[in-house]
Amino acid sequence: MKRIAFAVALVFSLALAQTVGNEPPPDLSPQVFEIAKKLRCPVCRGESAAESSAGVTEEMRRQIAEMLAEGKSEDEIIQYFVDRYTEWILYEPPKRGLGLVVWLAPLIGLGLFGFGLYGYLKTASRRERALSGLEDVSEEELARALAELERDDTSEEQP
Amino acid sequence: MTPGMLGQLGLMLAVFFSVAGLVSVVAAWVLRDARYVRVARRAALLAFLGTLVAFGALEWALLTDDFSILYTARNHTTASPTWVKFATLWAALEGSILLWALLQTLYTWLAGLRMRDYWTSPVALGTLFAVQLFFLVNVLFVINPFTPVPNPPADGPGPNPLLQNHWMMAVHPILMYLGFVGLSVPFAHAIAAMVTRRYQTWVSETKWWLIFAWGFLTAAIFAGGWWSYEVLGWGGYWAWDPVENASFIPWLLATAFVHTAMVQERRSLFRSWNFALVTLAFAATVFGTFLTRSGVIESVHAFAGGPVGPIFLGFLLVILTTGFALLGRVSSEVRDAGSVRLWSREGLLLLGALVFVVMAFVVILGTLFPLLVEAFSGDKVSVGAPFFNQLFVPLGYAMLALMALGPVLPWRRAEPETLRALAAMAVALVLGTGVGLALGWTLWVSLTAGLFLFNLVALAWLVASPIARKARVLGGVRTGVGALAWSRRRYGGYLVHFAVALTALAIAFSQSYRLDVQKTLEIGESWQVAGRTITVHALRAVEESHRYSVIADVEVSGLGLLHPRLNYYRTSRTPFASPAVAYTLGKDYYLVLQAFDQKDSEWVTLRLVVTPLVLWLWASAVLMVLGTAMILWPSTRRVQVGRTPEVEA
pLDDT average, residue stretch B469-488:
70
Final residue belonging to a domain, choices A49, A67, A89: A89
Q: Kindly report, residue by residue over B498-533, the tens digit of the pLDDT.
A: 999 999 999 999 999 999 999 999 999 999 999 999
Pick A22's closest partner by Cβ from B365, B386, B597: B597
Let me know if residue A32 belongs to a domain.
yes
pTM here is: 0.91
CA of B597 vs chain A CAs: smallest distance (Å):
6
Q: Kindly report, residue by residue over B67-89, the tens digit of the pLDDT.
A: 999 999 999 999 899 999 999 99
Q: What is the pLDDT of residue B648?
A: 36
Number of domains in chain A: 2
Residues shown for chain B:
649
> CA-CA distance, B73 to B62, in Å (whole number)?
10
Sequence-ordered alpha helix ranges (H) in chain A: 2-11, 13-18, 30-36, 55-69, 74-85, 97-131, 139-157
Are A82 and A107 members of one domain?
no
Final residue belonging to a domain, choices A29, A55, A89: A89
Are A81 and A109 members of one domain?
no
Could you give phi then psi for residue B46, rounded to 5 degrees?
-65, -35
Let me know if residue A1 belongs to a domain.
no
Q: Of the ranges A20-34, B133-147, B272-286, B470-484, which one carries the lowest mean pLDDT score?
A: B470-484
% of chain B with per-residue pLDDT over 70: 94
Contact check, Cβ <8 Å, B338/A125: yes
Say whether pLDDT at B649 is over 60. no
Best B162, B234, B544 member to test A by mutation, with max A CBs in 10 Å, is: B234
The answer to whether B169 and B87 have CB atoms below 8 angstroms apart is: yes
Cβ contacts (< 8 Å) between B540 and chain A: which residues? 4
> CA-CA distance, B128 to B192, in Å (whole number)?
10
Cβ contacts (< 8 Å) between A114 and chain B: which residues? 354
Cβ contacts (< 8 Å) between B572 and chain A: which residues? 15
The answer to whether B279 and B400 have CB atoms below 8 angstroms apart is: no
Contact check, Cβ <8 Å, A15/B574: yes
% of chain A with per-residue pLDDT over 70: 77
Let me know if residue A49 belongs to a domain.
yes
A87 → chain B, closest CA residue:
B381
Pick A8's closest partner by Cβ from B269, B357, B598: B598
Q: Which residues contact B270 (CB under 8 A, 6 or more apart)?
A: A120, B260, B263, B264, B336, B350
Cβ contacts (< 8 Å) between A44 and chain B: which residues? 300
CA of B543 vs chain A CAs: smallest distance (Å):
10
Long-range contacts of A97-103 (CB under 8 A, 24+ apart): A98/B373, A98/B377, A98/B379, A98/B381, A99/B381, A101/B369, A102/B365, A102/B366, A102/B369, A102/B381, A102/B383, A102/B387, A103/B387
- Cα dist. B504→B387, B444, B462 in Å? 18, 11, 20
CA torsion angle B616 B621 B623 B627 (round to 10): 160
E strands, B465-564, in order: 515-522, 526-529, 532-543, 547-556, 560-562
Q: What is the pLDDT of residue B305?
A: 52
Cβ contacts (< 8 Å) between B391 and chain A: which residues? 106
Beta partners for residue B538, in sequence order: B553
Cβ contacts (< 8 Å) between B357 and chain A: which residues? 113
Write the CATH number for A72. Answer: 1.10.8.640
Q: What is the pLDDT of residue B641?
A: 44
Q: Kindly report, residue by residue over B215-227, the tens digit of the pLDDT.
A: 999 999 999 999 9
Pick B517's closest partner by Cβ from A28, A91, A129: A28
Q: What's the CA angle centered on B311, arms B307 and B315, to 5 degrees?
A: 155
pLDDT average, residue stretch B182-194:
97
Are A101 and A147 members of one domain?
yes
Are A102 and A121 members of one domain?
yes
Q: What is the mean pLDDT of chain B?
A: 91
> CA-CA distance, B210 to B621, in Å (whole number)?
18
Tell me which residue range forms the domain holding A77.
7-89
Let me know if residue A19 belongs to a domain.
yes
pLDDT average, residue stretch B17-41:
95
Q: Which amino acid is at B407?
A: P
Are A101 and A153 members of one domain?
yes
Say whether pLDDT at B646 is over 50. no
Pick A14's closest partner by Cβ from B358, B369, B573: B573
Cβ contacts (< 8 Å) between B336 and chain A: which residues? 120, 123-124, 127
User: If residue B486 lies in a helix (H) or strand (E), which one and from where to where?
Assistant: none
Are A14 and A80 members of one domain?
yes
CA of A42 vs chain B CAs: smallest distance (Å):
11
Pick B540's closest partner by Cβ from A4, A48, A127: A4
CA of B19 vs chain A CAs: smallest distance (Å):
40
Final residue belonging to a domain, choices A56, A73, A89: A89
If we measure between CA atoms, which residue out of B347, B202, B385 comes closest to residue B263? B347
Cβ contacts (< 8 Å) between B340 and chain A: which residues? 121, 124-125
Are A79 and A103 members of one domain?
no
Pick B365's closest partner by Cβ from A14, A102, A130: A102
Could you give phi then psi for residue B230, rounded to 5 degrees?
-85, -20
Q: For residue A101, is it left (φ>0), alpha (ψ between -120 and 50) or beta?
A: alpha
% of chain A with per-residue pLDDT over 90: 50
Pick B299's closest partner by Cβ from A9, A46, A130: A46
Q: How large is the ipTM? A: 0.85
Contact check, Cβ <8 Å, A45/B599: no
Q: What is the pLDDT of residue B479?
A: 66
CA of B390 vs chain A CAs: smallest distance (Å):
10
| Residue B637: band (very low, low, confident or very high) from pLDDT cuts 50, 70, 90 | low
Let me know if residue A75 belongs to a domain.
yes
Q: Kindly report, residue by residue over B593-619, the tens digit of the pLDDT.
A: 999 998 888 999 999 999 999 999 999
The answer to whether B583 and A23 have CB atoms below 8 angstroms apart is: no
Tally the C-alpha atoms within 13 A of residue A79's C-alpha that lie toward its C-beta. Answer: 5
Residue B594, SS3 per DSSP: strand
Are A72 and A113 members of one domain?
no
Contact check, Cβ <8 Å, B515/A37: no
Say whether pLDDT at A1 is over 50. no
| Residue B296: band (very low, low, confident or very high) from pLDDT cuts 50, 70, 90 | low
> CA-CA distance, B88 to A99, in Å (whole number)?
41
CA of A122 vs chain B CAs: smallest distance (Å):
8
Q: What's the CA angle centered on B501, arms B477 and B359, to 5 degrees?
A: 140
C-beta neighbour count of B471 within 10 angstroms: 17
Are A82 and A137 members of one domain?
no
Pick A45's closest partner by Cβ from B300, B548, B601: B300
Say whether pLDDT at A135 is over 70. no
Are A16 and A64 members of one domain?
yes
Q: What is the pLDDT of residue A119?
A: 93
Contact check, Cβ <8 Å, B354/A114: yes
Contact check, Cβ <8 Å, B387/A34: no
CA of A155 vs chain B CAs: smallest distance (Å):
15
If we measure between CA atoms, which residue out of B44, B211, B24 comes closest to residue B128? B44
Contact check, Cβ <8 Å, A51/B568: no
Contact check, Cβ <8 Å, B597/A131: no
pLDDT average, residue stretch A37-60:
88
CA of B517 vs chain A CAs: smallest distance (Å):
5
Contact check, Cβ <8 Å, A25/B595: yes
- Cα dist. B192→B38, B117, B123, B438 in Å? 17, 10, 5, 56
Q: Of the ranges A95-99, B96-100, B212-216, which one carries the lowest mean pLDDT score?
A: A95-99
Q: What is the pLDDT of residue B301?
A: 53
| Residue B118: band (very low, low, confident or very high) from pLDDT cuts 50, 70, 90 | confident
Beta partners for residue B591, in sequence order: B580, B608
The answer to whether B479 and B471 have CB atoms below 8 angstroms apart is: yes
Say whether pLDDT at B166 is over 80. yes
Pick B601's closest partner by Cβ from A2, A34, A93: A2
Contact check, Cβ <8 Å, A5/B603: no
Let me know if residue A2 belongs to a domain.
no
Are A131 and A153 members of one domain?
yes
> CA-CA distance, B305 to B292, in Å (whole number)?
8
User: If residue B459 lies in a helix (H) or strand (E), which one and from where to where?
Assistant: helix B443-474
CA of B38 vs chain A CAs: smallest distance (Å):
40
Could you give phi then psi for residue B119, rounded to 5 degrees?
-80, -45
Are A79 and A21 members of one domain?
yes
Contact check, Cβ <8 Å, B598/A19: yes
Residue B560, SS3 per DSSP: strand
pLDDT average, residue stretch B97-110:
97
